Structure 1
Amino acid sequence: MSLWAGREDPEPDSLRWHQVVTPYKRDSEPGVVLVGFGCDAGVARNQGRVGAAEGPRSLRRALAPLAWHRRAPVFDAGDINCHGNDDMEAAQVRLAERLATLLANSQLPVALGGGHEMAYASWSGLTRHLEARGERCPKIGIVNLDAHFDLRDPSQMRSSGTPFAQIAAECEARGWPFRYACLGVSRANNTRALFDRARKLGVLIKEDREFLPHRFEAIQRELERFMARCDHLYLTVDLDVLPSSEAPGVSAPAARGVELAMIETLVETVRDSGKLRLADFAELNPSFDNDGRTARAAARLIHQLTLDS
């Protein structure tokens, strides 16, 4: 909680996030609950730039001074930390358990990363919650704003590049539909094998080069059609979807990317669907975040995601 600090304005009705965020308790009223995932073991396994384990702290600092415009509360449930590369799978289980508990208590969890290996934990937490409610074949839609599919073969090693392949395999084993939209993907940074796998899995694919002003409304409509076929939505934002000029502090900076204004609109589209159950923000690497630009961009997205007025 010491990270929640900042200026205080004398005018009435001038609160900022750091003045209203409180520690989460079991009997807390429904609201948004932030959970950190201090882990970049998956990034290390994926041969990326490590440092994302410090992402949750940087994100809290960036959120702290933002103006407060919510009616419902926001809580901080602390961090799930990974202790070395061999602890990744156990850390994913711990995060999944925490998220399932929060969902059972009618909260909207927002996980702060951390490497994108957190996606498997987020999905697992949601499925645990839905199964506990008796849903045998839930229609879960995954909306991933990302430069990468993260559909690599996990049979040799699980990493930040494999979470959605792991999820697809679990859906197949359970007889569940795999509904996955990957928006902002870079053809230059995904092999032909990954594009082929995505097509075979029926992934909604939108490449970064498609995000042009005159085509953006069509992309929104496709996303809306995708969401209409789902009962529950899980939103995951890998910050490397943004251009490196807007988000230098990530594990794999994008040469092109999708500008923040468009990503923000997509986040709001998912928020306004009424089906969002949880969200996470991955790959913030403070070690490379010049002037905190990436943390501020992520904080802006979280601010917009959680607006209720």
Structure 2
Amino acid sequence: MNENISIIGVPMDLGQCRRGVDMGPSAIRYAGVIERLEQLKYDIDDLGDISISRPDRKQREQKNKLRNLPQVAEANEELGKMVDEEIKKQRFPLILGGDHSIAIGSLAGISKHYENLGVIWYDAHGDLNSDKTSPSGNIHGMPLAANLGVGIERLTHILGYSPKIKPENVVIIGARCLDPGEKDYIRDLGIKVYTMHEIDLMGLPKVMAETIDYLEARTDGLHLSLDLDGLDPSEAPGVGTPVIGGLTYRESHLAMEMLAESNLLTSAEFVEVNPILDDKNKTASVAVGLIGSLFGEKLK
């Protein structure tokens, strides 16, 4: 694992309609992410938070198909440029959200540096909607589709190119809430998905082993996009779209430990921590614990 980590906070709450997730980066920092990584002997450069412009009253009153599209696109352009610059410096980008729409910018900056970037999408949701299939217009349900080149150009062509990733290089883990359009898209493109059904049947160790083997054989870099709602709400209550029946805290630590042992990871993001909905910053603390495991923290 790259020992030089650049932390980028993205206080984005415009990809959905519940306030509070913009405080996610601050909550994760408050829970001790920098201190945790420094104890593991990593060189940390905290770049602070990117600036998020707010829609004015007139824009809020407009009935657009996609919620806050101009502001979300603008923030993702800025994020993509920052991530690109950190990779050029040979630093590991660790992005803290913010809602999951920020993955559009993350992958725009990362994928420029790889021919076949692999992505593990650790999430209760597929995030494979577009302007044509989304029931809500919330862009945080669209980032994986946008990175695959599906959707409106303002989102698919962040940093001027599309697609960012290939469907055969994506593995979704923990899915248990998929919209009809997303199910069709998964079937049509043959995207590899381990739903909670498969995880219950197979066990997470086998799921992770298969995922790592599958991606190692076909990719030249690996990005982890972890939505805290991938965990069960009893473990991570401070998320905007909780879905019961999710992954446990211990299963998620094991997943991170196995990724650390694979030595394949080249970038990561942790998103959807919402302190307003949380219990004493529990979800941010869970995120920090998972980050520790991801970067090689062990009991002995």
Common fold by TM > 0.5: yes
- The C-alpha deviation readout for 1:151-179, integer Å capped at 9, x for no partner, is 00135857000011111115995596332
SS in 2 for 1:290: coil
Distance 2:204 2:127 in 1: 24
Residue 114 in structure 1 maps to residue 103 in structure 2? no
- The C-alpha deviation readout for 1:164-203, integer Å capped at 9, x for no partner, is 11111159955963321110000xx212331121122221
CA contact (8 A) 2:103 2:225 kept: yes
1:42 to 11, 15, 20: 15
Equivalent position of 1:304 in the other structure = 293
Equivalent position of 2:83 in the other structure = 99
TM-score (norm 1): 0.79
1:165 to 145, 168, 180: 145
| 1:30 Cα offset (Å) | 5.6
1:283 to 268, 272, 275: 272
Cα distance change on mapping 1:202 and 1:270 into 2, 3 Å: farther
Amino acid of the structure 2 residue aligned with 1:97: K
| 1:68 Cα offset (Å) | 5.0
Equivalent position of 2:225 in the other structure = 236
1:9-158 map, 5 Å:
31-44=4-17, 49-63=18-32, 66=36, 69-84=39-54, 85=68, 86-128=70-112, 130=113, 138-154=115-131
CA contact (8 A) 1:31 1:73 kept: yes
SS in 2 for 1:297: helix
1:195-274 map, 5 Å:
195-212=183-200, 215-228=203-216, 229-274=218-263
| 1:34 Cα offset (Å) | 1.1
Equivalent position of 1:182 in the other structure = 172
| 1:61 Cα offset (Å) | 0.4
Amino acid of the structure 1 residue aligned with 2:103: A
CA contact (8 A) 1:32 1:306 kept: no
Amino acid of the structure 2 residue aligned with 1:183: I
Q: Identify unmatched segments of 5+ residues in structure 2.
A: 55-67, 150-155
Count of residues paired in the alignment:
268
| 1:111 Cα offset (Å) | 0.4
Distance 1:225 1:200 in 2: 23
Distance 1:66 1:105 in 2: 23
Distance 1:53 1:286 in 2: 9
Amino acid of the structure 2 residue aligned with 1:161: G
- The C-alpha deviation readout for 1:241-293, integer Å capped at 9, x for no partner, is 11111111001112111001112222232333333221000100010111211
Q: Identify unmatched segments of 5+ residues in structure 1.
A: 1-28
| 1:226 Cα offset (Å) | 2.1
| 1:233 Cα offset (Å) | 0.7
Amino acid of the structure 2 residue aligned with 1:154: D
Distance 2:201 2:162 in 1: 40
Structure 1, 75-84 or 240-249: larger mean CA deviation: 75-84
Cα distance change on mapping 1:176 and 1:125 into 2, 3 Å: closer
Distance 1:209 1:76 in 2: 38
| 1:209 Cα offset (Å) | 3.3
Residue 192 in structure 1 maps to residue 162 in structure 2? no
SS in 2 for 1:125: helix
